[in-house]
Amino acid sequence: MNPGPVEEAGATARGLIDALKAQPAVLALSIAQIAMLAFLFYALSAAAQFREQSLKNQYELMRETSQLLSRCIVPDRSASPTEPLTPAGESQ
């Protein structure tokens, strides 16, 4: 009778554990690599959240600035004509 998939997975797991018993440095390095991947995932997700919040703040500031500028009153230039400037040493 052929072994089923559960027996095959168990045999593979036992073989892996036996191999790691023989070389504990491989186990330590594997755990260190998994920890490094977890740390990188956490750090990059935190950086992405920070970037997203920073962009939201920037857009909010731009919106507030444009609303403030839209309320500014620009004086009519035809009401008070300006004279052209002359250099300091010259008189009119």
What are the structure tokens assigned to 29, written together? 């390095």
Whether the per-residue pLDDT at 83 is higher than 80: the answer is no
Average pLDDT of 30-50? 97
Whether residue 51 is contained in a domain is answered as yes
SS3 content of the chain, % helix, strand, coil (to 5): 70, 0, 30
Evaluate whether 26 touches 20 at the Cβ level (below 8 Å): yes
Q: 43-77, pLDDT tens digit by residue?
A: 999 999 999 999 999 999 999 999 998 888 776 76
What residues make up the domain containing 40?
Answer: 10-69
Whether residue 91 is contained in a domain is answered as no
Whether residue 2 is contained in a domain is answered as no
Whether residue 34 is contained in a domain is answered as yes
Whether residue 37 is contained in a domain is answered as yes
